[in-house]
Amino acid sequence: MTPSAADVARTEPLAAFLARTRARVDEALERYLPRPPACPPLMSEAMRYSVFAGGKRFRPILTLAAADAVAQGADAAALPAACAIELIHTYSLIHDDLPAMDNDTLRRGRPTLHVVYGDGIAILAGDGLHAEAFALLAREPNDAALAARKLRVLQVIGDAAGSMGMVGGQAIDLQAAGQAPGSRVHLDADGLRGMHARKTGALIRASAVSGAVMAGAGEDAVRAVDRYAADLGLAFQIVDDMLDVEGEAGQLGKTVGKDAAAAKPTYPALFGLDRSRTLAADCIARANAALEDARLAEGWLGAIADWILHRKS
């Protein structure tokens, strides 16, 4: 039996937990993704090119850590949701990299999907991953007793991925970059925070909340996890903006400096690096306080928050 996070939190280094959980998620993704003859070989190949290109698996790790935080050993029920969220995240990266969006040629240290397979197959691979995510959420776990939890998670993730969340945030990003019809939108601090709350934060919040819900958390615990994840998501994006300025492509696995080149609104552009670093630290402090208030500080959620603040990739 896989040890719970609480059982190993005092003895296992965070890096070992992250590696172990990434491997668990990768194994499950390999099982869940369709293969020929269920789907055309080219679609299977293209989807796997992006899904297994590497990456931190931050969102599914967060799902499993949140599940274990509210109910030790309950993270198995959250594994399908964790994988579905990673499929949605990967689809979003494929579409973000397209010439019509960010026009990026490097992702996770490899040429982006459209560079290798062309725009059409990249769009279809993203569409396929998006659809597979919701099919997986509906199908697994195959346990009638969990039907109500699964239905709630379907709504949570659907809202986070759609026009009220990630897709809506990307639309604002295109407007702010002058890539959408109409006049260019200029974002102030509140507008920037709102854009990131949708574009990046919504799926991060859904990741943590889905884990808590699938583990059977009570409403107070779900709300606490949501508060934690809202600040965690903002900190993640602030750090991401900073890494685009001061990171190295070899570590990040993607092109650096593209936000500034596109004149995109970012935290460093609006506040400078030092103030951005302080804002990110403030977010993590609030996230950890939410865990403390709900008595959810044991396990990995707090360590994950600190990891996000200090990450270099």
Let me know if domain 13-310 sits in CATH 1.10.600.10.
Answer: yes
Domain ranges of the chain: 13-310
Question: Which amino acid, residue 70?
Answer: V
pTM equals 0.92
Alpha-carbon span 302 to 16, nearest angstrom: 16
φ and ψ of 12, to 5 deg:
-95, 130
pLDDT tens digits along 17-62: 999 999 999 999 999 999 999 999 999 999 999 999 988 999 999 9
**pLDDT on residue 253:** 54
**pLDDT on residue 108:** 85
φ and ψ of 111, to 5 deg:
-55, 140
| pLDDT value at 133 more than 70 | yes
User: For residues 129 and 265, which has the higher predicted lDDT (pLDDT)?
Assistant: 129
**pLDDT on residue 182:** 86
Mean confidence (pLDDT) of the chain: 91
- Band (pLDDT 50/70/90 cuts) for residue 260 is low
Burial class of residue 145, CB neighbours in 10 A (0-12, 13-18, 19+): exposed
User: For residues 8 and 135, which has the higher predicted lDDT (pLDDT)?
Assistant: 135
**pLDDT on residue 308:** 95
pLDDT tens digits along 154-169: 999 999 999 999 999 9
- Band (pLDDT 50/70/90 cuts) for residue 5 is very low
Q: What is the mean pLDDT of residues 202-220?
A: 97
Of 53, 54, 48, 50, nearest in space to 32 by CA? 48
| pLDDT value at 294 more than 70 | yes
Q: What is the mean pLDDT of residues 211-222?
A: 96
